């Protein structure tokens, strides 16, 4: 075992296979991909990388498996050494396909980072290492875990309502941004995890035959995670200046793709700085210059989601071409050049999603859903309300303009 020092989780013990995977070029690239994209323009400390986050998630996977083993949950449930190794390695590799500046490019239609990860995990040096150490089908098993499609009883540790990825990034992002919002009771959450079996009865629709759930005593910690996630989205991830920089970056890359100076296949191979340098080499661009100098577009208009009709403008986050057309049309009316007016209405369906089995003190389990909440607070229903509270429709412009809500709402509803 090698020990890596980490400011959040202290000593991270790394097994030989994980160390060999970490030393591959594909994994080392993550050192130069910021975890929070352009948030460092608002929170200077937010310069931590996907590399650190991946190591932290791996450390949590090791800890969670140790706790489940100590409790005896892993005995007789098809979770032998191979299944546990798969979980540890999936935790380590889950973000290996991330684009420069985090999730932003997925918002303009780029292939999802989990699919970008597929060739990196199933072929090349990483694929060879996995097959040699864990079996011929190991790369595909690990990909299924990362995509949330595995039949493994341990799937919920990698992708689910209470996966280790969420626990890690909330704690790390809060620490590095210097805000208290990401503080959650991680130790209580990990100690409350349980591997459930469908043997016996339940109060509601049963979970899978085996799966990760939480003991009833851990529900207060789940509440802390829910509120921490809401606060981080409201104050960090969807901060207006972060979203302005993100909107500028998306338009910058989209224009480069349309001009043919950059191809979609090239994106996943870049680091953050490598992409910006590559764009600079292709010619001057006012959006790139503005990002470099932190001259961000300002809010010309913002409307909270709670004041908008249901589904109005939801297409903005998913139909990039249509969004650009509306931006250009609105900008033209106001005497702005293409790229000087940008729309932003972020969407993340599973931002606060909660759907997990809860093991009651009487030994029965209950599926925590919107219809059947296992605590005094209806957490799934509350999560939907918090999501709407964190979400804002915004129009950013490079220069001050007079813009009415009616004008914007007419444009996005037509």
Q: What is the pLDDT of residues 339-386, one digit of tens each?
A: 999 999 998 766 566 677 888 888 888 877 654 454 556 766 777 788
Which stretch of 35-44, 176-185, 343-352, 390-399 has the lowest confidence by average pLDDT? 343-352
Q: Tell me: do 257 and 208 sit in the same domain.
A: no
Q: Tell me: do 54 and 179 sit in the same domain.
A: yes
pLDDT at 79 over 50: yes
pLDDT at 253 over 60: yes
* pLDDT score, position 106: 85
Q: Tell me: do 22 and 109 sit in the same domain.
A: yes
252 lies in some domain: yes
By residue range, what is the domain housing residue 129?
Answer: 2-226
pLDDT at 28 over 90: yes
Q: How are beta strands 2-6 and 10-14 bridged, if at all?
A: antiparallel
Q: Tell me: do 33 and 98 sit in the same domain.
A: yes
DSSP 306-351: GGSPTTTTGGGGT-HHHHHHHHHHHHHHTTPPTTSEEEE----TTT
Distance, in Å, from the CA atom of 102 to the CA atom of 112, rounded to the nearest integer, reads 11
Q: What is the average pLDDT across 1-7? A: 95
Say which residues have a Cβ less than 8 Å from residue 330's Cβ, sequence separation at least 6: 341, 395, 403, 407, 408, 411
382 lies in some domain: no
Beta-sheet strands, E only, within 7-158: 10-14
pLDDT at 387 over 80: yes
Q: What is the average pLDDT across 102-119? A: 85
What pLDDT digit, counting tens, does each position of 264-292 carry?
A: 888 889 999 999 999 999 888 999 999 99
pLDDT above 70 coverage of the chain, percent: 92
pTM, 2 dp? 0.93
Q: Tell me: do 111 and 213 sit in the same domain.
A: yes
* pLDDT score, position 380: 66
401 lies in some domain: yes
Q: How confident is the model at residue 329 (pLDDT cuts 50, 70, 90)?
A: very high
pLDDT at 200 over 50: no
Q: Tell me: do 207 and 244 sit in the same domain.
A: no
Higher-confidence position of 350 and 253: 253
pLDDT at 261 over 50: yes
* pLDDT score, position 351: 58
- Counted domains in the chain: 2
What pLDDT digit, counting tens, does each position of 172-189 carry?
A: 999 999 999 888 999 999
Of 195, 226, 257, which residue is a domain's last?
226
The secondary structure element, H or E, covering residue 266 is: helix 264-267
Q: Tell me: do 254 and 326 sit in the same domain.
A: yes
131 lies in some domain: yes
Q: Residue 33 maps to which CATH number?
A: 1.10.3210.10
Q: Tell me: do 251 and 209 sit in the same domain.
A: no
381 lies in some domain: no
Distance, in Å, from the CA atom of 223 to the CA atom of 162, rounded to the nearest integer, reads 11
Of 181, 200, 226, which residue is a domain's last?
226
**Residues making up the chain, counted from first to last:** 414
Average pLDDT over the chain reads 90
Say which residues have a Cβ less than 8 Å from residue 23's Cβ, sequence separation at least 6: none
* pLDDT score, position 198: 53
Q: How confident is the model at residue 104 (pLDDT cuts 50, 70, 90)?
A: confident
Q: Tell me: do 216 and 312 sit in the same domain.
A: no
* pLDDT score, position 199: 41
Which is it for the CA torsion 218, 216, 191, 193, positive or negative?
negative
165 lies in some domain: yes
371 lies in some domain: no
Q: Tell me: do 297 and 158 sit in the same domain.
A: no
Of 176, 196, 226, which residue is a domain's last?
226
* pLDDT score, position 358: 86
Q: Tell me: do 161 and 213 sit in the same domain.
A: yes
* pLDDT score, position 375: 52
Higher-confidence position of 376 and 96: 96
Residue 4, token pair as written in the block: 């890596």
Q: Tell me: do 134 and 281 sit in the same domain.
A: no
234 lies in some domain: no
pLDDT at 208 over 50: no
């Amino acid at each position: 075992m090698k020990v890596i020092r980490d400011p959040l989780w202290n000593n991270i013990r790394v097994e030989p296979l994980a160390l060999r995977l970490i030393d591959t070029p594909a994994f080392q690239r993550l050192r130069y991909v910021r975890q929070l994209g352009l948030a460092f323009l608002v929170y200077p400390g937010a310069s931590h990388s996907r590399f650190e986050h991946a190591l932290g998630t791996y450390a949590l996977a090791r800890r969670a498996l140790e706790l489940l083993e100590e409790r005896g949950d892993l005995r007789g449930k098809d979770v032998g050494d191979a299944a546990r190794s798969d979980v540890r390695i999936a935790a380590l590799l889950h973000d290996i396909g991330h684009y420069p500046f985090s999730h932003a490019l997925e918002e303009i239609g780029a292939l999802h980072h989990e699919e970008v990860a597929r060739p990196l995990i199933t072929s090349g040096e990483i694929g060879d290492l996995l097959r040699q150490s864990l079996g011929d089908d190991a790369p595909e098993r690990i990909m299924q875990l990362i995509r949330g499609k595995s039949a493994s009883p341990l799937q919920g540790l990698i992708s689910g309502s209470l996966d280790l990825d969420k626990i890690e990034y909330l704690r790390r992002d809060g620490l590095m941004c210097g805000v208290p919002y990401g503080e959650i009771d991680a130790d209580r959450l990990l100690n409350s995890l349980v591997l459930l079996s469908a043997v016996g009865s339940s109060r509601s629709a049963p979970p899978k035959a085996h799966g990760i759930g939480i003991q009833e005593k851990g529900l207060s910690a789940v509440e802390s995670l829910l509120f921490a996630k809401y606060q981080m989205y409201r104050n960090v991830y969807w901060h207006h200046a972060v979203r302005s920089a993100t909107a500028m970056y998306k338009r910058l890359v989209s224009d480069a793709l349309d001009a043919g100076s950059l191809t979609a296949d090239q994106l996943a191979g870049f680091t953050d700085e490598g992409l910006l340098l590559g764009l600079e080499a292709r010619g001057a661009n006012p959006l790139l210059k503005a990002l470099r100098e932190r001259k961000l577009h300002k809010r010309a208009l913002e409307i909270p989601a709670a004041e908008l009709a249901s589904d109005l403008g939801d297409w903005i986050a998913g139909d990039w071409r249509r969004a650009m057309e509306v931006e250009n049309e609105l900008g033209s009316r106001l005497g702005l050049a293409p790229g000087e007016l940008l729309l932003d209405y972020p969407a993340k369906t599973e931002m606060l999603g909660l759907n997990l089995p809860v093991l009651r003190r009487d030994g029965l389990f209950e599926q925590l859903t919107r219809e059947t909440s296992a605590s005094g607070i209806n957490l799934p229903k509350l999560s939907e309300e918090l999501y709407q509270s964190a979400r804002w429709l915004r129009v950013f412009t490079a220069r001050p303009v007079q813009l009415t809500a009616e004008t914007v709402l007419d444009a996005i509803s037509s």
